[in-house]
Structure 1
């Protein structure tokens, strides 16, 4: 039998069988696959893809002239079996040597039990000269080669990662360059780089996605997921040209111009194409990636505070100390897990010693943070180097450069100009290790790494590394130097470069407290879209970090009176509740960034308490793959004392609208449900899975608990809780019911005070409360009772004994 190797790869289970065939038709589950005359295509439920070809591009000679390698024969060379991390596969391999001396090997794998195929290839340099390998095209089709049944507007083409070019097949978007121009114009800035001239940047019909793309209809029931899989080798680019409902699709393994020596073979990234429902396909893809790239979930998500949105560059030792002091006062009520110091403390980008705004150094603050019970966290951008530090002159080979030797990428965020280090250079690696070592010696154990810029055009110091390998090298050395127990949050986007090394991933843009903007990516709407798109990775590859939420909204008049408040929340109450609900149900990182020491924030603390700890269940977008706004978001909780679902329904329109649940997620729980609303504490009666909201204001939401109606109508059941935003998943440990008794056991989750809501046709009377106080039991509605809880003693067994 073939077994997985230590890195999650695979070994051949049986020997290869040499065969000679001109064409082949294969059935892989619901997929029909055909390969003939160097052309690959497939048919699956409602999708047809025809006539793609394979090729590779190498750069030859001193002038690096591009040479395309195309098969000069169409003979199936071998078949073999293997075992992948997601089950058995049959490999069909075509091999062709061209007249220039290069061999292109292309392998199609079929996973019949999954309705899936994979594509991978390799190039062998049979010449006596060094060449550079630019890309391996696993599939390149003609215009309109991919077609979907039905209305093109019903098919959504979307990345899994946070990218803005999302739309249905009936749309033509603005071009990439047009979007770039508008974004920089909206910031009143000049574009700091030359715009690319290729067609895919200037034609709005083109949409390019890194590593992952999905195409789905009918609430994610029909479609396909395509993504990088197998051992980490290279970035993958899906180039999609959408034209009148049809699509050209190119699947490209970007080999980053790696050096290919005589006799050497380089392998592409493997790419999987899965047909079937979105949740199943994406779940399979992430399982495969976890096995081959690694995952880090054992530390779970963190909750706490970071300085950025509160203080930005106005950070000082005194302002941090004031916030730390407030957390210290509340450590028994709300022990934060991390207090993180963000950008603004450093002397220069590249010189990570604290500046003169921290005259006493790190020792006092780190000690005070630890005394609150929290980890001390620090923000770093280890690849950044400000030109004023002189390294560019002293070590010019440390920096990322293109084929012409020109510096790649620059940033003026911190005053002109910051450039980016090459993480494959041994001296750069030593320099980065020293940065981390010094912060570790200062007592920091939580690291938020940002601006981890690695150019697509970089010619690395190590010419054998692809961009993906360089990225993973960088994160591997961070992990090695931080140690296994340190907590690493990667602000690098949803990239395979961090898998296996980062404990948490910033999956989207900055959650700046502005609802939306025509051209800026850093808004709450974009943060919601990113949270929904990537939710399936949460707890599978890492903890998802949606960026900060806010503990309250502030009026503009408050912002006008206090410049520090000007960076505060500019959201409406409805918009804030929608975002807070997303962060709360996600079950990922839960970080706030408000001036919590201010008296005005006394009421904000409870809105932090109701998030902590993160919900044990992890919410998903219920129409993932087809709803770019994820208007149905939530989870089902399985409990011995009673199952339920917590779901957020929100109105993405700029006008009033109603929203139907329209999901089969509740089907396993029952046929009828008690509906209870978190924010307004209202009982909505009994409904089924066809439930629809009343008219909601623009961007407003209902955060609802769906509790199955009890078979015994006289049995009291808990239908809601205001102690935690998950409405019972994080704060209730157990519930027991006897003939005349209802006993509720609470854990330490959630707020120190709040209410439980019970449906009971009989009056409820308090018998006993342990380690908490019951301020009263009131009738909230017909047969609905509100139990008011206060003075919860955390760390003790909290029990509420009710008789009926």
Structure 2
């Protein structure tokens, strides 16, 4: 049963200048600052509400809501900032609501929340950064520079595509540390060790990458299971159930429904360990783990633990399997429950070759939503992890590529290219080289 919302604070505000920061639930959930008269970004259909927002906690109209964090600047840029934060963000993330009426902001929450005022400087971003500093985390390891197959090839990537771009990196003299194979190499979500027909050998391509002096990286969505996969057919007991006895629904993507792997089941945990120890043994030492929201969905699991505990245990299992030296990038991940678990974190929705997102939903791929939330989460960079603003796309076919490149560069975070490198024109090559060089220098 959901917890009731109870009063936390009543703060006088200037309706003309006050601003509110909503912290979204996961990487793709819109996060940023709004004026009191603004309408915050919300899901435009039930599927995206599950896949990109916090399911089960819909936001009433006329209400601001932060998931574990909400900041209020009652007078805008002038004066102190009120910060409302989960008391124990790694185990419980209450939803925090704010409603402005009659010159006051009424703040409520459905769990334990600490709140205090931050005098400045730096406004809302400064207040959030100050909160992050109180967590006492070690400084994150610098990120390597990356080439990623996704934004050019998507799920149609082939082993030959990887070979072509490896050669192009040498020809164009690009300082790429990691060559990351994204979605498309595997037979099905969940069947991570079975190859699609487009790849001949994971170990073989990793060996080629390393022989060229670069590191091998690979993508997985470790908590998602395709209903048509061998895993789902052979081990339905490894899947999270709902209260009716059916399978917990993780939304719909790739044209089909998705299930959730129950990593609290000993055999499922052993399988996931096998997946990551195998990939590590094959030479991969950079892991992008994606669609992680699924691991924190409510459901009936083998062990009687809450969803956040199950999620953190699942990530810790992966980290144990890949070892402390491997680099771990999270994506589609619940933000506060991920604190202390990752080297780098995607802090925005996906970018895209286009600016505007589908149906004007700011959780969907597009440069505008990626910029909005990436800027809103800049305070996390260097404190919680290295921020991943998503990949540079510099080929001529990309809309407003100059503006997107400027955003990626300004973040100072993980620098990754995701073009077919031979498709780049002079501007594209020079911009890609410059940003990767900047990323390489930051990692030294």
TM-score tier after normalising by the smaller chain length: 0.7 to 0.9
SS for the counterpart of 2:436 is coil
Secondary structure of 2:313's match? helix
Aligned to 1:213: 70
**Partner of 1:547: helix, strand, or coil?**
coil
Corresponding position: 1:607 with 2:428: no
Give the alignment of 1:575-654 within 5 angstroms. Answer: 576-598=401-423, 600-614=424-438
Asked if the contact 1:596/1:602 (under 8 Å) is kept, the reply is no
Aligned-pair CA distance for 1:611 = 1.2
Q: Distance in 1 between matches of 2:50 and 2:376?
A: 30
- 1:146 counterpart residue number: 10
1:213 and 1:227 in contact (8 A); partners too: yes
Normalised by the size of structure 1, how large is the TM-score?
0.49
Distance 2:76 2:410 in 1: 24
Number of equivalences: 430
Structure 1 window deviating more from structure 2 (157-166 vs 313-322): it is 157-166
Q: CA deviation at 1:456?
A: 4.2
- Secondary structure in 2 matching 1:528: helix
Shift of 1:414: 3.4
Secondary structure of the residue that 1:551 maps to in structure 2? coil
TM-score for the superposition, normalised by structure 2:
0.86
| Cα distance between partner residues in 2 of 1:379 and 1:308 | 10
Shift of 1:525: 1.3
CA contact 1:159–1:213 (8 Å) conserved in 2: yes
Q: Point out where structure 1 has 5 or more consecutive residues left out of the alignment.
A: 1-65, 67-133, 185-190, 254-268, 555-568, 617-729, 732-747, 750-804
8 Å Cα contact 2:190/2:231 also seen in 1: no
**In the aligned structure 1, how far is the partner of 2:59 from the partner of 2:385?**
36
Task: Verify: 1:527 aligned to 2:386, yes or no.
Answer: no
1:293-332 paired onto structure 2 within 5 Å: 294-295=137-138, 297-298=140-141, 300-330=142-172
The one of 131, 151, 176 equivalent to 1:285 is: 131
CA contact (8 A) 2:91 2:308 kept: yes
1:210/1:396 CA distance change after superposition, 3 Å: same
- In the aligned structure 2, how far is the partner of 1:213 from the partner of 1:168? 14
State how far apart, in whole Å, the 2-side matches of 1:615 and 1:390 are: 40
SS of residue in 2 equivalent to 1:249: strand
After superposition, residues 201-240 of structure 1 pair within 5 angstroms as: 201=58, 203-216=60-73, 217-219=75-77, 221-230=79-88, 232-240=90-98
Deviations 1:435-460 (A, max 9, x none): 11111122111100111113543233
Matched residue, 2:300 = 459
3-state secondary structure, aligned to 1:158: strand
SS at match of 1:597: helix
Residues 63-212 of structure 1 aligned to structure 2 (within 5 Å): 135=3, 140-141=6-7, 146-150=10-14, 152-161=15-24, 163-164=29-30, 167-171=34-38, 176=42, 179-180=44-45, 201=58, 203-212=60-69
Rounded to whole Å, the distance in 1 between the matches of 2:381 and 2:77 is 21
Provide Cα deviations, 1:199-249, integer angstroms capped at 9, x if missing partner: x73731233321111112432643212222447322221133344654432
- C-alpha change, 1:205 and 1:343, in structure 2 (3 Å) is same
Alignment partner, residue 491 of structure 1: 331
Aligned to 1:349: 189
Assess if the C-alpha contact under 8 Å between 1:214 and 1:226 holds in 2. Answer: yes
Give the superposition deviation at 1:413.
2.5
**Cα gap change, 1:313 to 1:460, in 2 (>3 Å):** same
2:318 is aligned to: 478
Structure-2 separation of matches of 1:282 and 1:451? 25
CA drift at 1:311: 0.5
Relative distance call for 1:536 and 1:374 in structure 2 (3 A) is same
Distance in 2 separating the partners of 1:592 and 1:471: 29
1:353-392 aligned within 5 A:
353-359=194-200, 361-392=201-232
Q: Deviations over 1:653-690 (max 9, x none)?
A: xxxxxxxxxxxxxxxxxxxxxxxxxxxxxxxxxxxxxx
User: Matches of residues 772-791 of structure 1 in structure 2 within 5 Å?
Assistant: none
More strand by share: 1
Q: What's the offset of the Cα at 1:310? A: 0.8
Question: RCO (CA 8 Å, sep 6+): is it higher in 1 or 2?
Answer: 2
CA contact (8 A) 1:382 1:435 kept: no
Q: CA deviation at 1:252?
A: 2.4
Alpha-carbon offset, residue 584 of structure 1: 1.2
On the 8 A contact 1:349/1:386 being kept in 2, the answer is yes
CA RMSD, Structure 1 to Structure 2 (Å): 3.2
Tell me the SS of whatever aligns to 2:315. helix
Give the secondary structure class of the aligned counterpart of 1:481.
Answer: helix
More helix by share: 2
Establish whether residue 504 from structure 1 lines up as the match of residue 344 from structure 2.
yes
1:357–1:459 CA distance, 2 compared to 1 (3 A): same
Structure 1 residues 197, 393: CA separation in 2 closer, same or farther (over 3 Å shift)?
Answer: closer
Distance 2:311 2:61 in 1: 30
**Equivalent position SS for 1:369:** helix
Structure 2 CA distance for partners of 1:163 and 1:410, relative to 1, 3 Å:
closer
Aligned partner (choices 427, 436, 441) of residue 276 of structure 2: 436
